[in-house]
Structure 1
Amino acid sequence: MCAQPIGIGFIGTGGISRAHAKAYQQFPELAKIVAVCDVDAARAEQAREEFGASFACTDMAELLARPEVQAVSVTTPTALHAPAAIAALEAGKHVLCEKPMAASAAQAKAMVKAAEQSGKTLMIAMKWRFRPETLAARQAVVDGKLGDIYFARAIGWQHKGVPARPSFTRKELAGGGGMMDNGIYNLDTVLHILGHPRPLAVSAQVGAWIGPRGSKNWQVEDFTVEDFGACFVRLEGGCALFFAHSWHVNLPEDWGIGVTGTTGGLAFDIVMAKPLKILHGEYDDIQDITPDPMPEGNKTLGDFAYEIREFLTALHEGRPSPVPGDPFYYSNVIFDAAFESARQGREVTIEW
């Protein structure tokens, strides 16, 4: 429980840190940004001034040693998420970590273990968890409106969506490419709606078809991640999941999520603004049961502000993490299995 505003530190001050900072600044009664860290000293100093912090450094250990820092936002490239989050947790700080959770399942599990051992909160910054569509869809599943669920899909077809910066396109920094970077939105959302069943096996086609062709926006030698991934995932309980994402496909843009069961189904597309529709009933009597009004969720506050408020409120009230690392790390298990399946050219079984 916290009576005073929580002191916030930033590890990494790249683009996404601005969204976090603006959100924290909306809740001065809950938090105050006090310190920032970035390997680039000039960028750290710029963020210190912009965020209203009193301290900036280039060494993460310096920031974590400061007692006024009670919680941190980890907004580094993905490959650095786990080292930063684990160090922060071990230093007794609460952690809000940007998505994707980590570069591998092993790293993600280590983050979960560090949170458990420290007793501190680890929240993954997955803003779609709080969308009205996600909340209503999850509730329909909890209420049994879809019956026995046997198939789900989570598609992310982008058009000209390559983020042409090395922190996204070099594997040693990003961990993975389009499938991980933006695919995590739809993948985590559908897994959450389903109640996070464990993935049991994955068969995947993963690779880079667009990046190596080059563009005026990036250098070919800087493109070492996948730009496309398509996966058939067998989930615990008998549900099959088709998950696919690409930064660029020559198809209409599509971010559709769909779930179907024996007595109902649902579908929506957040990016393309296709509203949620929930159907329920038997073959001869299917009814539209989409809630009206929808849950409020983050509709009024917006994605980042709502997410940050949830994090801060959980800390102030001593509540569990709104988006805990376990079972969020299942997404990394699927990513790892997809890469391995593509390498072997066959379905791979996941050992638990």
Structure 2
Amino acid sequence: MNTSSVYRVAFIGCGKRAHEHAIGVQPDSRCEVVALSDISTASAETLNAEFGFQANVYTDHKEMLAKEKPDVVLICLWTPLHLPVFRDCAEAGVKAVLCEKPMSPSWGDCQEMSRIAEEKGCQLTFSLQRRFAQGNLTARRLIKEGKIGQVLRMDLYSPAHLLDCGIHTLDQAISYMDETPAKSVLGAVDTTEIYNWFNVPSECGASGHILFANGVHASFYSGVIDTWEPTSDMTKIWAGVRVTGTEGFIEVMWDGQMIRGVNYADPSWKPEMELSSMSDHMKGYVRHAIDCLETGEEPEVSHQKALRASEIIFAFYESVRSNARVELPLTGVTDSPFITMLENGQFNK
């Protein structure tokens, strides 16, 4: 690995998530932040001051790309802006883009982001940074070593909003199965309330069934679980995965917190609790992305992997629209079936 390279780094979007990405960028000596772009100069100046970047500030990201010619760009914008801004970066010759998740509001746009990345040879990753949580790394190792035997089924839990939150749970589950894709999806959504996060409307809850290509069955639930509150029962999985195997099971929250683990043949076994902070996850995410830029390896949070989880989400919505189980790969769909149904008044009471 060439550790002597220094990469010109720029941020597009300088709000809250940019500050969290900056925590990952700042300690990596290979990253020199040269430019910040935001329609709010004040936001960019605040990020500049907090992290001491001494970067040039722009209100137009296209002007920034042309003048600064960054090697690496972090896109920290609302979801509908991901595709057009990534396209601008790829066409400007940016080598690597670290984009906020989720990919895009529609399945067709998600696929287009991946197509552009492949065509332009731009390394595109998404901030599914929880893959770098120490507990998730340990859970993957334990499952791979056969500590709970052959995986049979999973129970998946997420806060409301499949696209924005559910992608973390689905990505966690897929990572536990060595990147196995889904084979079919049957889904339902709760539209008692319509939420809107980062300018993307969503359901207030969802449930369904996922069959993975390796034969593992998964139940999925998002929304409020038994009126759970953070100060109440900390043994409930409100965001994470329960993996059941032939020889035991393990329950892991989003950030790798081990709720419990059981090995049927060894009642004394308990999985080690290894906590890590969001700052640690972001540092791991950025470090790994730069490593892969130098080695050419597929990143742990590549666009191909984000696409795999996104496909399940849009299949969920298509299952609602078609009132049927949806087989994958997902074909004949380019929109967001949920948004289309919402705009058509299908969820009106």
Category of TM-score, reference length = shorter chain: 0.7 to 0.9
- Report the TM-score, using the length of structure 2 for normalisation: 0.79
State the partner residue of 1:252: 228
Count of aligned pairs: 317
Query: 1:63/1:191 Cα in 2 relative to 1: closer, same or farther (>3 Å)?
Result: same
The one-letter code matched in structure 2 to 1:240 is: H
The one-letter code matched in structure 1 to 2:185 is: V
State the partner residue of 1:166: none
Task: Report whether the alignment pairs 1:200 with 2:183.
Answer: yes
State the partner residue of 2:321: 343
State the partner residue of 1:186: 169
Displacement, 1:61?
1.8
Cα contact 1:8–1:70 (8 A) shared by 2: yes
String of CA shifts for 1:177-226, please: whole Å, max 9, x gaps.
Answer: 722222222221111111222222222122332458xxxxx9xxx89422
Three-state SS of the structure 1 residue aligned to 2:122 is: coil
Cα contact 2:183–2:328 (8 A) shared by 1: yes
Query: 1:280/1:86 Cα in 2 relative to 1: closer, same or farther (>3 Å)?
Result: farther
Three-state SS of the structure 2 residue aligned to 1:23 is: helix
Query: 1:333/1:288 Cα in 2 relative to 1: closer, same or farther (>3 Å)?
Result: farther
String of CA shifts for 1:11-63, please: whole Å, max 9, x gaps.
Answer: 12221011112332233x22121112223444345444545343222322222
Matches within 5 A, 1:71-150: 71-93=72-94, 94-150=96-152
The one-letter code matched in structure 2 to 1:135 is: L
String of CA shifts for 1:245-288, please: whole Å, max 9, x gaps.
Answer: 22x455214224111122332212246x852544445xxx3556
Three-state SS of the structure 1 residue aligned to 2:202 is: coil
5+ unaligned residues in a row in structure 1: which ranges? 158-176, 213-217
Moved more, 92-101 or 299-308: 299-308
Cα contact 1:155–1:186 (8 A) shared by 2: yes
The alignment's C-alpha RMSD in Å is 3.0
Query: 1:63/1:137 Cα in 2 relative to 1: closer, same or farther (>3 Å)?
Result: same
Cα contact 1:276–1:290 (8 A) shared by 2: no
Cα contact 1:278–1:288 (8 A) shared by 2: no
Three-state SS of the structure 2 residue aligned to 1:66 is: helix
Cα contact 1:104–1:332 (8 A) shared by 2: no
Three-state SS of the structure 2 residue aligned to 1:65 is: helix
Matches within 5 A, 1:1-352: 1=2, 3-27=4-28, 29-51=29-51, 52-93=53-94, 94-157=96-159, 178-211=161-194, 224-246=201-223, 248=224, 251-253=227-229, 254-270=238-254, 275=258, 277-280=260-263, 285-287=265-267, 289-290=269-270, 292=272, 298=276, 302-316=280-294, 318-351=296-329
Cα contact 1:132–1:299 (8 A) shared by 2: no
Three-state SS of the structure 2 residue aligned to 1:322 is: coil
CA distance in 1, matches of 2:58, 2:278: 35
CA distance in 1, matches of 2:259, 2:306: 23
- Percent identity of paired positions between Structure 1 and Structure 2: 24
CA distance in 2, matches of 1:119, 1:292: 40
Query: 1:289/1:207 Cα in 2 relative to 1: closer, same or farther (>3 Å)?
Result: same
The one-letter code matched in structure 2 to 1:336 is: F
Cα contact 2:172–2:254 (8 A) shared by 1: no
State the partner residue of 1:215: none
The one-letter code matched in structure 2 to 1:257 is: V
CA distance in 2, matches of 1:292, 1:35: 42
Cα contact 2:207–2:219 (8 A) shared by 1: yes
Cα contact 1:201–1:349 (8 A) shared by 2: yes
Three-state SS of the structure 2 residue aligned to 1:302 is: helix
CA distance in 2, matches of 1:66, 1:223: 32
Three-state SS of the structure 2 residue aligned to 1:182 is: helix
Cα contact 1:277–1:288 (8 A) shared by 2: no
Cα contact 1:183–1:244 (8 A) shared by 2: no
The one-letter code matched in structure 2 to 1:81 is: H
Three-state SS of the structure 1 residue aligned to 2:146 is: coil
Three-state SS of the structure 2 residue aligned to 1:200 is: strand
Moved more, 51-60 or 326-335: 51-60
Displacement, 1:124?
1.6
Query: 1:351/1:255 Cα in 2 relative to 1: closer, same or farther (>3 Å)?
Result: closer
5+ unaligned residues in a row in structure 2: which ranges? 230-237, 331-349
Cα contact 2:102–2:167 (8 A) shared by 1: yes
Displacement, 1:120?
3.0
